[in-house]
Amino acid sequence: MERIGIIAKPHRQEAKEILDKLVPWLKENKKEVYIDIDTASLIGLSSPYPKPKIPSMVDMIIVLGGDGTLLSVARLINDNDVPIFGVNLGGMGFLTEVTREELYPTLEKIFSGDYIVHERLKLTTHIYRQGEKIAEYSAINDVAINKGALARIIDLEAFIDGKYLATYKADGLIVSTPTGSTAYSLSAGGPIIYPTIEALILNPICPHTLTNRPLVVPDNVKIEVTLASENEDVFLTMDGQVGFALKYRDMVQVKKSHRKIKLILSPDKDYFQVLREKLKWGERA
């Protein structure tokens, strides 16, 4: 871990305060520091790099922000095998589990080789219109099909490995990874799945019938969902950050990516501890 990238959530005072100390500290520890343009603007640092280039230049990336910032960085990784270390400046922070107070003790352990790397499933999404592929995206948490605010319940024809599953009548449908099981899918009534389990969740949003419940399937299946409602305002979103407007009979194909995301985790925490801290797991009201 000699070349360290840093990407921070823009316009955050907390990020500036950390950067003012972190960059000199890394250089004192003989590390090369690579910062993107937005992050460099927080502290007036010269010679920044375009954000998409940083993953190919470094041995690890420190993300200063919330889970949303980390997800946006994770989608930049592409075929680079660089791990991400998240420092929480946001709210919930399932992925950015390390606090500001834990930053330097954890970095010292990482640089001495005392750390854990979790490989997390990543999704690849293709959109087909009249049989032609028109767009491709990646996601770490989830891929969601949602109706617009004024649209009626929509019909979504779902197939798994070419076999008909169901026609969902609902406000939408979430395809979630285990990592994303504590995000949008959880708020829609989905199960929590341990992040390294090889599975996907299909979770209808406010289904018209109580018989449509969340479904857990193996992660090696191909999921295809066709919009079967005409004249409705429907969007596809990846990790709640990237959107695409769907049209009648568009088909969304979701499958496991051949690449995984690597997260550097603190050796002093475990997943169940994070659940207890973030969700108040097991506490009485």
- 233 given a catalytic annotation: no
Please give the angle made by the CA atoms of 169, 187 and 257, to the nearest 5 degrees.
80
Which residues neighbour 108 within 8 Å (Cβ) at sequence distance 6 or greater?
none
Which residues neighbour 257 within 8 Å (Cβ) at sequence distance 6 or greater?
121, 122, 123, 124, 138
Query: Measuring CA to CA, which residue among 156, 179, 13 is closest to residue 84?
Result: 179
- State the amino acid at position 65 in one-letter form: G
Residue tagged active-site, from 20, 36, 59, 67: 67
DSSP string, 246-280: E-TT-EEEEEE-SS-EEEEE-TT--HHHHHHHHH-
Please give the angle made by the CA atoms of 197, 175 and 7, to the nearest 5 degrees.
75
Catalytic residues: 67
